[in-house]
Chain A
Amino acid sequence: MSQLRRDPVTGRWIIVDITDPKRPEEFELKSQVKKGGVCPFCSGNEKMTPPEIEAVREPNSQPNTPGWSVRVVSNKFPALKIEGDLDKRGIGVYDMTNGVGAHEVIIETTDHYRDMADLTQNEIKNVIFKYRSRSLDLEKDKRFKYILIFKNHGSSAGASLEHTHTQLVALPIVPKRVKEELKGASTYFGYRERCVFCDMIAQELEDKLRMISENKRFVAFCPFVPRFAFETWIVPKRHSQNFKSIDDMDIDYLAQILKDTLVRLKVVLKDPPYNFIIHTAPIRDGLNEEFHWHLEIMPKLTNVAGFEWGSGFYINPTSPEFTAKYLREVQV
């Protein structure tokens, strides 16, 4: 028997299986095997990437040489280009603009064979520091409206290079998916005068059914309305619309819970392909106080089929109560 559930933020309906949810071993789990070979993100190959923008480096080491532990470079094959002004125009019924934007890569470690889950809490902390400093730097550019930070792990989650990295894209428009969330949060706030995500955290902490872990500043849980099996969200307990405003202490706690969650997923699902995405308010965001930034982790265990593509209605072969139990109880 399954159940239809409605996402309180976007209004999207999904179907979860509550009586016979799929167990982890019933999915076709494919561990990510690294092939090695020449890699532009490995130490010693700094010349193979565009020049570095920022790095965490040993004192006295020179930019674009070894001696770094986290390195930020432009994407060699950017989806958007940094030069030029936005040129919005119409062609009959259609609208378009040129592709102005920034596309950067944050290389999380020099070690080709360690994934984010294998990094120490301190290493992850340094990576998150770069997420923040790049966000703060790019938002100064008046052409940009939104900064999207995301990670593709494993080739079936869209990673083209196997060396662990995160990507950051600054966009000249606010993407649709973000607009939907902002609108949903704002509608909820208009009705209840409370933040939908704050309410969600309160209910999850009380129900406990979908909780994975918590620390002083963050909670990790499987959302009530997951599109994907083992989908997991990390949400700050303190209401804050924008990721960039996290303080150093937050970064510490975020590194702890992110590592913990990635390790749990890695153990339970044998190193699954996944995407994670930081959902945050647009850059010039005075009007988005109802929003609450968070990080969504989506393991890619099944193929998205015609029904999902055509309807935006997801069929989840398991349930978040069930997946949270696995993730909560696994020994790490």
Chain B
Amino acid sequence: MPELRKDPIIGRWVIISVERAKRPSDFKVSHPEDEECPCPFCEGHEKDTLPEVFAIRKADSKKDGRGWDIRVVPSISQRFDLDGGLERRGIGMYDVMNPIAAHDIIIESPKHFTDIYQLSGEQIELIINTSVRRIVELEKDPRLKYCLLFKNHGLRAGGSKVTRHVRSQIIATPVTPTRVKEELRGARFYYQYKERCIFCDIIRQELDTGDRIVMETDTILAVAPFASRFPFEIWIVPKKHCSDFINIEMREIKDLATVLKTITYKLYQLLDDPPYNYMLHTAPFRHAKRPGYWRSITEDYHWHIEVTPRITQVAGFEWGSGFYINPTPPEDAAKYLREAKAL
């Protein structure tokens, strides 16, 4: 009998196939990536990107020249604009506004690596530090309300055809996106009811049961969530309660780097370099516009990173219902991941 499981935060149901559970080898991962073009993100090609907005550089190097470890540049897609006002307005029954938003590309290495696990732990720590710096910087803009840090690895995860060069992206938007809002609301609702953080409760229960744990360090836990939407979905959560990613501590950064490196390597091993996304869910920017609006957020919300391999197709059923069918129970996925060879 399949099981229906409910996500305790936002109430989304997922169908988990228990009987004909799929193993890692049942998924066929294709690699349609073409020959790569000259890569604009490699060291020496700094002129092929827009001017950098931030970089970690060697002492004597120059802006937009060689000699960097991490570089942040605006996306060339130019869908957004940081000039002007939002001009919220109505067109008949519809609402529109100007695309005031920022879109950063964080180039995670000057060398042409293609996945996180290939980088050193220290380099990943620099990446995390850079992400924090950028988010803090973007929060200063009063027009922006939310900042999403994410990664698209592989074409089917929305990666680019031009290059596989390892990088993540940040988009800061003038509205809090729906998916984030429902999570914030779900967490607040639980807090009002129980006066506890739902993520902290989840962490306690997962540490207690153990069968969905992928890995843990002193400060960070990685689990296959109870109501996983996708096979081999993984959530990375700090054990200590903290609503906002920008308050991450030194020890957590070190551990998070280890966890990211280990998990991306295990996915690579287990699923033959699958396309994947990961995204950071953190508290929204809290400019004091609507007093009291996020009053309990520091207690009720808990930042985390969702890692989702893209090895199944999302079809009409999922789009129509927001209800997912997952052929690999998270308990199985966690076991495979625990047992996969580490670096």
The residues of A with any CB-CB pair to B shorter than 8 Å are 1-6, 8, 10-13, 15, 17, 77, 79-81, 84, 91-99, 146, 148, 150-152, 155-159, 167, 169, 171-173, 175-178, 180, 196, 199-200, 203, 207, 224-225, 275-279, 296, 298, 302-313, 315
Contact = CB atoms under 8 A, between A and B. Distances in A.
A94 B279 contact: no
B321 A17 contact: no
Contact of B321 (A3, A15, A171, A303): A171
B94 A305 contact: no
B265 interface: no
B158 A275 contact: no
Interface centre among B1, B151, B169, B321 (most CB of A within 10 A): B321
Interface string B202-218: 10010001000000000
Given A11-B178, A148-B321, A310 B94 contact: no
Contacts, number: 219
Nearest 10 A-B pairs (CB), nearest first?
Answer: A305-B158, A158-B315, A312-B179, A310-B279, A99-B2, A177-B322, A150-B316, A306-B150, A277-B320, A311-B177
B4 A4 contact: no
Count class of interface residues, chain B: 35 or more
A108 B178 CA distance: 36
B167 to A, nearest CB: 12
Contacts of B180: 310-312
B177 A313 contact: yes
The interface centre, meaning the residue of B81, B157, B158, B316 with most chain A CB atoms within 10 A of its CB, is B316
B26 to A, nearest CB: 13
A202 to B, nearest CB: 9
B211 to A, nearest CB: 11
A307 B148 contact: yes
Interface of B: 1-6, 8, 10-13, 15, 17, 20, 79-81, 91-99, 146, 148, 150-152, 155-159, 169, 171, 173-175, 177-180, 182, 198, 201-202, 205, 209, 226-227, 277-281, 306, 308, 313-323, 325
Nearest to A172: B4
A150 B320 contact: yes
A306 B4 contact: no
A239 to B, nearest CB: 16
A175 B277 CA distance: 24
Nearest to B209: A92
Nearest to B225: A94
18 contacts: A8-B94, A13-B175, A93-B201, A94-B205, A94-B226, A99-B3, A158-B314, A171-B321, A175-B322, A176-B321, A200-B93, A278-B320, A303-B155, A305-B150, A306-B158, A307-B169, A311-B177, A312-B182
B15 A80 contact: yes
B316 A277 contact: yes
A203 B91 CA distance: 10
A216 to B, nearest CB: 24
Contacts of A97: 3-4
Contacts of A298: 319
Contacts of A150: 315-317, 319-320
A311 B173 contact: yes
Nearest to B190: A93
Contacts of B98: 3-4
B11 A176 contact: yes
Contact of B198 (A93, A156, A169, A307): A93
B280 to A, nearest CB: 8
Contacts of B169: 306-307
Given A79-B15, A305-B277, A310-B277, A167 B316 contact: yes
A311 B174 CA distance: 13
Contact of B93 (A1, A92, A151, A199): A199
Contacts of A4: 96-99, 174-175
A173 B119 CA distance: 45
B178 A315 contact: no
A306 B152 contact: yes
A46 B280 CA distance: 49
B303 to A, nearest CB: 13
B96 A177 contact: no
A69 B278 CA distance: 46
Contacts of B277: 305-306, 309-310
Contacts of B278: 306
Contacts of B12: 176
A159 B2 contact: no
A178 to B, nearest CB: 7
Contacts of A93: 8, 198, 201-202, 205
Contacts of B202: 93
A71 to B, nearest CB: 20
Contacts of A312: 177-180, 182
Nearest to B308: A309
Given A6-B95, A6-B96, A305-B152, 7 more contacts: A8-B95, A11-B178, A99-B4, A152-B316, A176-B10, A225-B94, A305-B158
A32 B313 CA distance: 16
Contacts of B205: 92-94
Nearest to B318: A158
B178 A95 contact: no
Contacts of B1: 81, 84, 98-99
Given A2-B80, A159-B315, A176 B323 contact: yes
Nearest to B91: A224
B323 A177 contact: yes
Nearest to B11: A176
A310 B306 contact: yes
Contact of B6 (A96, A224, A304): A96
B80 to A, nearest CB: 7
A310 B4 contact: no
A113 to B, nearest CB: 22
Given A93-B198, A311-B148, A156 B313 contact: yes
Given A94-B227, A96-B3, A152-B316, A171 B80 contact: no
Contacts of A84: 1
Q: Indicate the member of B2, B94, B226, B319 with the most A CB atoms within 10 Å.
A: B319
